[in-house]
Chains A and B, each alone.
Chain A
């Protein structure tokens, strides 16, 4: 009965909340008041926006030695997570059957283990940095910790489900993913989407002034 609920209504509900919520959040950026700049531009905005969307993937050279941990842990976590989400065999099968109708090459088992370990390591390092570093400790909100914990649980249950392949573990994983999807649009997890307009706004501003950002 619980299994049916998790695989059925709750799954559809979480998908609905996720997609509707993300659309709503992005819509509130697109449709909020946008001030028109009346000063004479020194350079074009669009290339500046485009440039900054990509340039901020890399830290400034002078800053890097001071933020090594965040950068390395951030990369390890995000790359590991990306690989696990999109290249784990059960996920590809799931996307194929439920959404896309096609599949692609999955990571070998050892590749999955490696990617998952990277994601765990990155996530744990980032979270430790969050609680130990006085700056991140001061500025972090409850929501940041909830996001970290939820992501951790999703990863953990996913690994257990894959390794042990008990149905109850698969269900637990699915349930945690549902919680994650429901929480996503209302949290800073939204940065996965909003970093694009955010970088674009700033890049356009700098582009207008003839500055590389």
Chain B
């Protein structure tokens, strides 16, 4: 057995626990999960069936943990693991799964299939079967602080503009702030208006906030790759910065997987509870809106819909807040047929959008979103994740669809009641 295969199998063995045991004991191979997965519905390729993507772990479980497996290996009947048992799954798991978790909502046995796929990634990544683009993004983050390299100069340049335009100050490294804001590289590079928006909203609502110059990048390539060591290191940087600045809360950016990494997985990666709270930016905005600290005026009148980012809504539980916020500034909002916890993914989550090899497939599975949009005929799609936004824009372009895509935070900022007294404060 090669060293890389051994490493992969060891990592997979480390994933076995009571959940895996009960999940694999329950699967009746009914195939229902296929119909929930856009990679299957849009390609009709049975290999994209969610539970099939877990095959490497399932095979190992069957062989080493089930009665028949143990019994047959005693009799010498076990088929040996081959490199192809891992290698052949790289494309299925990394290109053909956006970790959206829709399959986990429909399995009649209650199997959290997305959770098992995440475990399979641990094995593939340990064996080195990870798309090069994800490995590169992780290495750049480790070395330069972000998957797009060192973006601190770009961030500072944007902030300079924002400060000049608004007369506001973006606070860096303020000790004891109520909220330490984290950002995703995509927000800095592609959607810098997000940073301007939060600056205006926080000034408007008089929020005590800061950005750490040491750890502002919240995306986590380690999570996307399935490499817990890297994921832990990246979350650890934010936690260290938050502890150093003694902030009360860390604010996750809109980016869905960044939220999953810092809010839900982080304490488990680090093996300790945080000394601060973690809120998603939409949770914070909603709280400010409900308490009357955000006051908006005027309504968007174009026909709009909201695209639910999977990791924020279905896997993150932030479903009501975006709807409440959107309703406060838009008068004509129509829901897609499947929305909220049953939304369809944009197709680019889980590292798919960072993986160039998967581009053709990603555009193909966008047909699911296209069908949803065709049904409701809206002019504008609002979302709350910069990654979804990029992927949605790509998909719309590829299909010649004329539709605007907006970020919810920016939309709220555009409707703030003007408060001259705040400018320059």
Contact = CB atoms under 8 A, between A and B. Distances in A.
Interface of A: 21, 24-25, 28-35, 37-40, 42-43, 52-53, 56-57, 59-60, 62-63, 66-67, 70, 74, 126, 129-130, 133-141, 143-144, 185-186, 188, 190-191, 194-195, 197-203, 205, 209-213
* Interface SS of chain A: helix
B284 interface: no
Given A40-B277, A135-B49, A198-B109, 19 more contacts: A32-B18, A34-B17, A35-B17, A39-B266, A40-B278, A60-B106, A62-B342, A135-B31, A135-B46, A141-B29, A190-B25, A191-B25, A191-B109, A202-B112, A205-B112, A210-B317, A211-B319, A213-B104, A213-B341
Contacts of A144: 28-29
A28 B27 CA distance: 16
Nearest to B51: A139
Contacts of B319: 211
Interface string B288-332: 000000000000000000000000001111010000000000000
B149 to A, nearest CB: 30
Contacts of A138: 46-47, 49, 52
19 contacts: A30-B18, A38-B272, A39-B266, A60-B106, A63-B106, A70-B30, A74-B30, A134-B46, A135-B49, A136-B29, A138-B47, A138-B52, A144-B28, A188-B26, A188-B28, A190-B25, A198-B25, A200-B110, A213-B104
Closest 3 CB pairs of A and B: A199-B110, A38-B267, A210-B317
B19 interface: yes
A209 B29 contact: no
Interface stretch (B2-10, B32-40, B178-186, B377-385): B32-40
Contacts of B316: 209
Contacts of A126: 30
A122 B336 CA distance: 34
A209 to B, nearest CB: 4
A186 B68 contact: yes
Contacts of A136: 29-31
Given A34-B17, A39-B265, A40-B273, A198 B111 contact: yes
A139 B49 contact: yes
Given A38-B273, A60-B105, A135 B317 contact: no
B78 interface: no
Contacts of B31: 70, 129, 133, 135-136, 139
A194 B46 CA distance: 26
B287 interface: no
A188 B110 contact: no
B268 A39 contact: yes
B337 A62 contact: yes
B108 interface: yes
Q: How large is the interface on B (under 10, 10 to 19, 20 to 34, 35 or more residues)?
A: 35 or more
B22 interface: yes
Interface string B255-291: 0000000011111100111100110000000000000
Q: Which one of B26, B40, B47 has the highest number of Cβ atoms from chain A below 10 Å of its Cβ?
A: B26
B88 interface: no
A74 B109 CA distance: 12
A142 to B, nearest CB: 10
A205 B26 contact: no
A56 B110 contact: yes
Contacts of A203: 110
B142 interface: no
Nearest to B263: A39
Contacts of B49: 135, 138-139
A198 B113 CA distance: 11
B29 A140 contact: yes
Nearest to B316: A209
A130 to B, nearest CB: 7
A48 to B, nearest CB: 11
B338 interface: yes
Nearest to B268: A38
Contacts of A63: 32, 35-36, 106
B341 A211 contact: yes
B34 A135 contact: yes
Nearest to A201: B19
A52 to B, nearest CB: 6
A31 to B, nearest CB: 8
B294 to A, nearest CB: 22
A191 B27 contact: yes
Contacts of B338: 62
Nearest to A31: B18
Contacts of A66: 35
A52 B110 contact: yes
Contacts of B109: 56, 191, 194-195, 198-199
A32 B277 contact: no
Q: Which one of B107, B108, B315 has the highest number of Cβ atoms from chain A below 10 Å of its Cβ?
A: B108
A194 B25 CA distance: 7
B26 A202 contact: no
Contact of B29 (A28, A38, A139, A199): A139
A108 to B, nearest CB: 31
A59 B33 CA distance: 11
B21 interface: yes
Nearest to B48: A135
Contacts of B273: 38, 40
Contacts of A198: 22-23, 25-26, 109-111
Contact of B115 (A129, A205, A210, A213): A205
Contacts of A37: 267-268
Contact of B111 (A133, A141, A202): A202
Contact of A190 (B26, B36, B271): B26
